[in-house]
Amino acid sequence: MSAVLDLTCELIARPSVTPDDAGCQALLAARLKQAGFQCDHLRLGEVDNLWATHGQGAPVLVLLGHTDVVPTGPREAWASDPFMPQIRDGVLYGRGTADMKGSVAAFVVAAEQFVAAHPDHPGTLAVLLTSDEEGPSVDGTKVVVELLRERGERLDWCIVGEPTSVERTGDMIKNGRRGTMSGRLTVKGIQGHIAYPQLARNPIHQALPALAELAATRWDEGNAFFPPTSWQISNMHGGTGASNVIPGHVTIDFNFRFCTESTAESLQQRVHAVLDHHGLEYELAWTIGGQPFLTTPGTLVNAVQAAIRAETGLETELSTTGGTSDGRFIAQICSQVVEVGPSNASIHKIDEHIVVADIEPIKNIYRRTLQELQRQQAV
């Protein structure tokens, strides 16, 4: 087997369901130390984080990934044990193959090969790993970013190993992500007998016009990189379960996926304005899951595109679709962040998998990107 495939299998065999790292980072740190990296283990609560660096000074390029995986679901539904990597018909099966132990193995091997060929490379090559990406993301990259900020670390470029490809390896990369913000709205009424509505106040009836207005609102027009901001209700809970009782309150959960044309603060203000206009008695709690980020074509995007072109012949598509990633945290201290990885078709599914023939090209894309960035610095 290739070095990348072998390492991918070693990682899959460790049942690192978030936040348990299950020894993945110790394995990777041992390899990186042997390659000349300095490794800093950051244990925060139940979460393991690894910050490994080679070289010194600027520019600083970070390879960002996570060693934790989502739960397997019913293990009897898998064709083989999710934590016993198995190759069938040229496809590697196991939890984390695509999201994202395959990418982590690929960029670690790429880093090993790069520093072996360029031991005196300019600047710093760093690897940042967490075991809290698939969980609440409280003690992982988010906190490490704050620690790096306190140290005065300045990051120039970051490549996140998220699975981004669609039909073919390298056909799509993410140069940004939308922000996410949730709200829990509780509209208060007066409970009463449904036969005497004049003695009660139905909060569901009161909330509906405001909700309809929010659902019809055009929050922004998006831009060349992002679709317009969207607002969606995810849950609504009201009533006692009885058919003859007007409820005393109704709770609505909703979420914004917002682009760089709007801010969390402006969206909050507009929602409150609608609710106040409709005269509702309410409470509203906000949770900001992540701010949007965008890396326009430039040094990093150009280097990744050149690497993909050289390795696959493809002209990759730039995209900001999909959910959130730890890129939202690293973008707070790094102006250029790009996500590059294997196919995302099977992530979080039963029988998660990656085509074996795709593993080596992913590693080569990372290695070529490192070489291209070094070439650009030398020009």
State the catalytic residue, choosing from 20, 21, 132, 133: 133
List 38's β-bridge partners, or say none.
Answer: 53
The size of the chain, in residues, is 379
C-alpha 302/C-alpha 169 separation (Å) is: 17
The answer to whether 55 and 124 have CB atoms below 8 angstroms apart is yes
240 is written with which tokens?
């006692």
Q: What angle do CA 118, 148, 100 make, to 5 degrees?
A: 65
DSSP code of 76?
Answer: G
68 is catalytic: yes
Q: Supply φ then ψ for residue 108, to 5 degrees.
A: -70, -45
Out of 68, 311, 358, 372, the active site residue is 68
Is there a contact between 12 and 78 (Cβ–Cβ < 8 Å)?
no
Based on the residue annotation, tell me whether 276 is a catalytic residue of this protein. no
Strand ranges, E, within the chain:
38-44, 47-55, 60-66, 86-88, 91-93, 124-130, 155-160, 172-174, 176-177, 179-188, 192-193, 230-238, 245-246, 249-258, 282-290, 293-294, 317-319, 334-339, 353-355
Asked whether the CA dihedral 104, 152, 39, 19 is positive or negative, the reply is negative
Point out the residues that are catalytic: 68, 133
